[in-house]
Amino acid sequence: MEKINEYDYIILGAGSAGCVLANELSQDSSNRVLILEAGPMDHKLMIHMPAGVHAAYKDPGINWNYESEKEARLEDRNITLPRGKVIGGSSSINSMVYMRGHPKDYDYWASNHLLPSWDYAQCLPYFKKCESSDRGADDWRGGAGRLGVTKGKLENPLYDAFFEAGRESGQGYSEDLNGFKPEGLARLDSTTRYGRRCSAATAHLKPALSRPNLSLKVKALVHRVVIENGRARAVEFNHGGRLHTVQASKEIIVSAGAIKSPQILMLSGIGPSDHIKEFGIESTHHLPGVGQNLQDHLNIGLVHECTKAVTFDRMARPLRQLALGLQWIFTRKGFVASNVWEAGGYIHGYSEVEFPNLQYHFAPIHYEYHGSKMKLFQGFTTQLDQLRPRSRGQIRLLSADPAHRPAVYFNYLSDPFDTGELVEAVKRIRELISQPAFDEFRGKELFPGPATRSDREIESYVRSHANTDYHASCSCRMGSGEMAVVDEQMRVHGLDGLRVVDASVMPDIVSGNLNAPTQMIALRAADFILGRKPLPEFHASFHFQR
């Protein structure tokens, strides 16, 4: 074992949270900061090309390639779980949709989980500080942050039909789901800038790497955090085929994501002691909530043929691909500058819920995977996510080997309420697509098909086709009580010098995509760590349908 050095702060994981922390903590030149990342630098072109998103997240060179254990209520399917293994983490391979979640999510964190500093009025200033939106700065949006946020601009008549159908169906329309009206159908924002992906690495980490007090080690696999006398003292990691130890004089911050962070804690002896001991690991701190409370957004999609040749399947023609690629290389504009999923929305299902419980993602394309190859067809895809599932899962160890994947049990649909909401989701999609706005485009329903009508038939389709929207979270939840892992400032309960800062600390999953909330959480964590005065809370006004 080789002792490398001593740093004030060691950050484990250069993902959405870790990149934010690296920038914030290294702004004071007296802080020596080290960030360890298991993956490589983000040199691959498909990472930065927005329309290359499917190639990026299928690339095994920048992906952990996890999968769940068999999900009993999804016909024993193993659910594929791509997670970023590259600087930027999953923000370098995701679909780039920028959504904060509904304001009431955070108010519920404050009230239902006794986390008074996490209501939306206290989170909103950090969302605004983080972003530079091309919509411009106002009460809801930031205009000077490091993260580029761009409103979708790709023109296609199917997007127009989608928005008009929202009005016709009563499902609603919004100019900005992250703004005054966080409900209805809308043009979505993406984490892009000047036609390129703006990952957390691009936005936060790379601008800070010129600082002499910030060090980055890539291809560094963390083995464990060393705990001595109730304090996190050091990190053991493999780099270049050798085991190294590095000391932390102030804090170690675990920011490896909702799947990897609980694994690192358990490999360090922190977690449910009986489970940890099964693998010959010494239990250094019994904390039964580590790996528990796992949550995710399950989605269901419908596919329709399109009667007009307006869909994006034509982009797959070789000469067309070449022309579009050259256009993007020289201008950063055109189809390749889009993530394609430029339309979406928040809606209520038929159940009585206080605020939207379903989220649309819509694309003027029908695609199928044949192995690692994606084939495009003339059609359009409409997906709905269940935003606040009641089912809960867990992360468990399968091995004491840090290179071995952990066991992921989502327990999807273990609560019958979740099944009912996804049956409702299929009906809501059909209601939308049946509106007059789609009359000139609507072809045959390909999946699940017109023969699937009854609730029982729809439920069978849900069980055979529902899939993750890649929003694993909540597995090291923030709060108090026996099953909480971290406190309101993300300090691990019962230990000094150790925090967890990433999507795993959410007490409940937010009603939307997770990249924006994770960066907001990390910005707040930096203020907690450095003892900075928090940003003043801001009570923006909102229009809610109910």
Residue 480 lies in a domain: yes
Residue 546 pLDDT: 65
Question: How do beta strands 358-363 and 343-347 pair?
Answer: antiparallel
Residue 375 lies in a domain: yes
In a shared domain, residues 282 and 322: no
Active-site annotation holds for 471: yes
In a shared domain, residues 501 and 531: yes
Q: Whole-model pTM above 0.95?
A: yes
- Tell which residue, 98, 192, 204, 112, has the closest CA to residue 141: 98
Domain boundary (465, 487, 506) is at 465
Here the CATH number for the domain that contains residue 515 is 3.50.50.60
Residue 439 lies in a domain: yes
Alpha carbon of 402 to those of 134, 220, 366, 509: distances in Å?
42, 11, 39, 27
In a shared domain, residues 319 and 425: yes
> Which residues, other chains included, contact 121 with Cβ-Cβ below 8 Å and sequence gap of 6+?
537, 538, 539, 540
What number of other Cβ atoms are within 10 A of residue 61's Cβ? 9
Which of helix, strand or coil describes residue 282? coil
Instruction: Tell me how many degrees the CA angle 222-263-476 measures, rounded to the nearest 5.
Output: 120
In a shared domain, residues 178 and 204: no
Residue 485 pLDDT: 98
In a shared domain, residues 210 and 344: no
Find how far residue 59's CA is from the centre of its chain.
18
Retrieve residue 1's tokens. Answer: 């074992």
Main-chain dihedrals φ then ψ at residue 358, nearest 5 degrees: -135, 145
What number of other Cβ atoms are within 10 A of residue 447's Cβ? 16
Q: From the candidates 304, 471, 493, 543, which is the catalytic residue?
A: 471
Q: Are the C-beta atoms of residues 506 and 526 closer than 8 Å to each other?
A: no
DSSP secondary-structure letter at 295? Answer: B
Domain boundary (465, 497, 529) is at 465
Regions of the chain with pLDDT less than 70 = 1-4, 371-372, 546
Retrieve residue 30's tokens. Answer: 């007296």
In a shared domain, residues 102 and 135: yes
Residue 372 pLDDT: 67
Burial (CB count within 10 angstroms: exposed 0-12, middle 13-18, buried 19+), residue 351: exposed
In a shared domain, residues 255 and 373: no
- Looking at the structure of the chain, the number of domains it has is 2
Question: H or E element: which one contains 153?
Answer: none
Domain boundary (421, 441, 465) is at 465
In a shared domain, residues 91 and 223: yes
Residue 315 pLDDT: 82
Buried b (16+ CB within 10 A) or exposed e, 251-288: bbbbbbbbbbbbbbbbbbbbbbbebbeeeebebbbebe
- Cα–Cα distance measured from residue 274 to residue 269, given in angstroms and rounded to the nearest whole number: 10
Retrieve residue 113's tokens. Answer: 């989980």
- Tell which residue, 174, 186, 285, has the closest CA to residue 226: 285
Which of helix, strand or coil describes residue 10? strand
* Domain assignment of residue 23, given as a range: 1-149+190-290+474-546
- Cα–Cα distance measured from residue 407 to residue 405, given in angstroms and rounded to the nearest whole number: 7
Rg, the chain, Cα only: 23
In a shared domain, residues 119 and 18: yes
In a shared domain, residues 128 and 165: no
Residue 407 lies in a domain: no
- Three-class SS of 199-250: CHHHHHHHHHCCCCCEEEECCEEEEEEEEECCEEEEEEEEECCEEEEEEEEE
Retrieve residue 289's tokens. Answer: 């909530």
Here the CATH number for the domain that contains residue 339 is 3.30.410.40
| Identity of residue 229 | N
What is the widest separation between alpha-carbon atoms in the chain?
70
In a shared domain, residues 176 and 200: no
- Cα–Cα distance measured from residue 347 to residue 360, given in angstroms and rounded to the nearest whole number: 8
- Cα–Cα distance measured from residue 134 to residue 137, given in angstroms and rounded to the nearest whole number: 8
* pLDDT 10s digits, 104-135: 999 999 999 999 999 999 999 999 999 999 99
- Cα–Cα distance measured from residue 114 to residue 116, given in angstroms and rounded to the nearest whole number: 6
Residue 421 lies in a domain: yes
Residue 392 lies in a domain: no
- Cα–Cα distance measured from residue 143 to residue 138, given in angstroms and rounded to the nearest whole number: 8
Residue 211 lies in a domain: yes
Alpha carbon of 113 to those of 117, 281, 431, 508: distances in Å?
11, 32, 36, 9
Residue 1 pLDDT: 39
Residue 398 lies in a domain: no
Q: Strand pairing partners for 50?
A: none
Q: Are the C-beta atoms of residues 540 and 124 closer than 8 Å to each other?
A: yes
Q: Which residue has the tokens 């004030």?
A: 8
- Cα–Cα distance measured from residue 422 to residue 463, given in angstroms and rounded to the nearest whole number: 10
> Which residues, other chains included, contact 474 with Cβ-Cβ below 8 Å and sequence gap of 6+?
258, 293, 294, 295, 503, 504, 505, 506, 507, 508, 509
In a shared domain, residues 121 and 160: no
Instruction: Tell me how many degrees the CA angle 365-367-370 measures, rounded to the nearest 5.
Output: 165
Alpha carbon of 307 to those of 377, 378, 444, 450: distances in Å?
12, 8, 9, 17
Burial (CB count within 10 angstroms: exposed 0-12, middle 13-18, buried 19+), residue 3: exposed
Number of H helices, E strands in the chain: 13, 29
